[in-house]
Amino acid sequence: MNMLRGSNRMLALAALALLAACGNQGPGVVGQAVQQVVTSRLPGAEPAAAPAAPRSDAERAAEALQVNPGPLIQVGFEELKQTQIMAMTGQNGAMRTYMNPAEEAVILRGGMIVGTRGILGQDLAVAEPGTEGLIRAGASGTGTRVMRYLGGDGLERPLRFACTVAPAAQGLVQESCEGHGTSFQNTYAVQGGQIPVSRQWVGPGIGYVTIATLRP
């Protein structure tokens, strides 16, 4: 119990820092992710006063922590205005696959998105972030990010972006990328080379997602 409470406190601080960095975007999904991590009740907490009311994201996160002993993440899809809780269903080395009951999946490597499956039919087949080392080290520099998407014909179509990485306020790291007539900015809270909280751009169809680690 103490370990879980300490983990939630750590994530809350990271999420609050992320919200501060993204404050000019309004509350949105980032704010929801912060609120959910901060207010999620631990196992053993009293039930909601009005059980008949729709469950909040925080309540669903608390329930998931109670019933699932494995690694869990909370994912907010900004374009869909939805927040989902996903459980780890597989691991291959440092790559972890997290899935919800609808079999929509996000693939992470130490908190960094490297692929999606079954989401809007516009999945990221694989991401090749040449900036990953800089991000995990919290260092400044430049690099190339390649994002490969599956077309309707089943062929991969790579998009290459030029990116700049730099430390930001409150221990955050920002990755700013441009290419193919678009630009995006990823924000990471990095702790010991891992990324427990982040806001990352997945692609033109899915847009931005926020990820908060509920249980590592």
Q: Is the residue at 109 inside a domain?
A: yes
Q: Is the residue at 42 inside a domain?
A: no
Q: Which of 4-18, 99-113, 125-139, 151-165 has the lowest average pLDDT?
A: 4-18
What is the distance between the alpha carbons of residues 15 and 61, in angstroms, rounded to a whole number?
A: 15
Q: Is the residue at 41 inside a domain?
A: no
Specify the pLDDT at position 48.
52
Closest CA to 132 of 179, 94, 85, 180: 94
Q: What is the CATH number of the domain that holds 98?
A: 2.40.360.10
- The three-class DSSP label of residue 18 is helix
- The three-class DSSP label of residue 32 is helix
Number of domains in the chain: 1
Confidence of residue 67 (pLDDT cuts 50, 70, 90): confident
Q: Which residue has the higher pLDDT, 88 or 62?
A: 88
Q: Is the residue at 9 inside a domain?
A: no
pLDDT tens digits for range 128-151: 999 999 999 999 999 999 999 987
Q: Is the residue at 119 inside a domain?
A: yes
Q: How large is the average pLDDT for residues 55-61?
A: 79
The 3 state secondary structure assigned to 52-92 is: CCCCCHHHHHHHHHHHCCCCEEEEEECCCCEEEEEEEEEEE
Range of 145's domain?
Answer: 67-215
**Percentage of the chain lying above the pLDDT 90 cut:** 58
pLDDT at 30 over 80: no
Closest CA to 72 of 81, 80, 61, 82: 61
Specify the pLDDT at position 198.
98
Specify the pLDDT at position 64.
84
Mean pLDDT of the chain: 81
pLDDT at 159 over 50: yes
Q: Is the residue at 129 inside a domain?
A: yes
Q: Look up residue 190 and give its amino acid.
A: V
Specify the pLDDT at position 80.
86
Q: Which residue has the higher pLDDT, 7 or 155?
A: 155
Q: Which residue has the higher pLDDT, 134 or 24?
A: 134
What is this structure's pTM?
Answer: 0.74
Q: Is the residue at 48 inside a domain?
A: no
Percentages of the chain per state (helix, strand, coil), in multiples of 5: 25, 45, 30
Specify the pLDDT at position 43.
45
Q: Is the residue at 154 inside a domain?
A: yes
pLDDT at 68 over 60: yes
H/E segment holding residue 33: helix 28-39
Q: Which of 55-69, 72-86, 128-142, 146-160 has the lowest average pLDDT?
A: 55-69
